[in-house]
Amino acid sequence: MAILQIRQAIRDAMKEEMLRDERVFLMGEEVGHYNGAYKASEGLLEQFGPKRVIDTPIVETGFSGVGIGAAMCGLRPIIEFMTFNFSAVAFDQIMNNAAKIRHMTNGQFGVPIVFRGPNAAAHMLGSTHSQAFEPYYAHIPGLKVIAVATPYDAKGLLKSAIRDDNPVIFLESELMYSVKGEVPDEEYTIPIGKADIKREGKHVTVVTWGQGVPVSLKTAELAAKEGIEVEVIDLRTLRPMDIETVITSVKKTNRAVVLFHDWPYGGVGCEVIAQIQELAFDHLDAPVLRECYEDVPFPYADNLEQLVLPTPEKGLAAVKKVLYRG
């Protein structure tokens, strides 16, 4: 097995799918000559040429719409947003076209498209460039939403996303492109809609995804020093959600914390909690807690930014609180 960074796993996934299916192409700002703002498309222009790796002007509405149209016409575009913060400009295209065409044409047209790029806060990017977009997209019927945290998951899920016949939002992280991990040499895919238990434990279930995964794993390490065994569940797909894995775990631990890089109000964390209370009410020994961003616009200053982010220490405090050890 090769040890790859997430950016390389993403590049390999795109490369393999482009080799496998000539309908697949990549489009976005700086994806070609610059090899991607985060080097996730390194070498692809050279290999596949400018017809399949397309640099666009800085106009998200435009290239998102072109991508959706291409998908309706039978191609399989991958649209890279330099960050998902910029997808706000393309929001109407995604919400009203990508998500709704299949429904509104009664299946005459599908939109097999992937929108991918980094999501949520990185480091000192200010409030307009530090936002998590999964709640906006996961809210919309017709979209699938994926958030990855390891090279293995990134490659396997991106390949599934590209092969999917429906629009998929694929969330990465600027801070995690260099995260390394084992990736099999042979071909593999990971089905959309399957969570992964990243660490087993019996005392508390921590449900997480994306940038929350490394924080949760560190939380589990801190908790282990106090004799608390935390089970970390990486949802990987936020819509459709693998609630079964979560419920099975909560029925075992009777306690849950949802840890994620996003604001608390509404959103995916709330969806997880709503489903837990609905499906495992009689198994809960404590209220389910959230550990996430503070409910404020993201500060630019380093010291203030640190206060807003979920940390392993805050995660541990939440874990202890649901254990009544707080």
Q: Which residues are catalytic?
A: 60, 129
Interaction site with other proteins (CB under 8 A): 254, 281-286, 324
Least separation, in Å, of the C-beta of 294 and other proteins? 22
Nearest distance from residue 321's CB to other proteins, in Å? 9
Q: Which residue number, 57 or 324, has a Cβ lying nearer to other proteins?
A: 324
Least separation in angstroms between residue 324's CB and other proteins is 5
**74: alpha, beta or left? (left if phi > 0; alpha if psi -120 to 50):** left
- Buried-state track 119-145, b at ≥16 Cβ within 10 A, e below 16: bbbbeebeeebbbbbbbbbbebebbbb
List 237's β-bridge partners, or say none.
146
Residue 191 backbone dihedrals phi, psi, to 5 degrees: -65, 140
Which residue, 227 or 324, is less far from other proteins as judged by CB? 324
Dist. CA 216–CA 239, nearest whole Å? 20
Q: Which is nearer to other proteins, 124 or 286 (CB)?
A: 286
The residue (of 140 and 323) whose beta carbon lies closer to other proteins is 323
Q: Find the shortest distance in angstroms from Cβ 281 to other proteins.
A: 5
User: φ and ψ at 120, to 5 degrees?
Assistant: 70, -175
CA-CA distance, 179 to 184, in Å (whole number)? 16
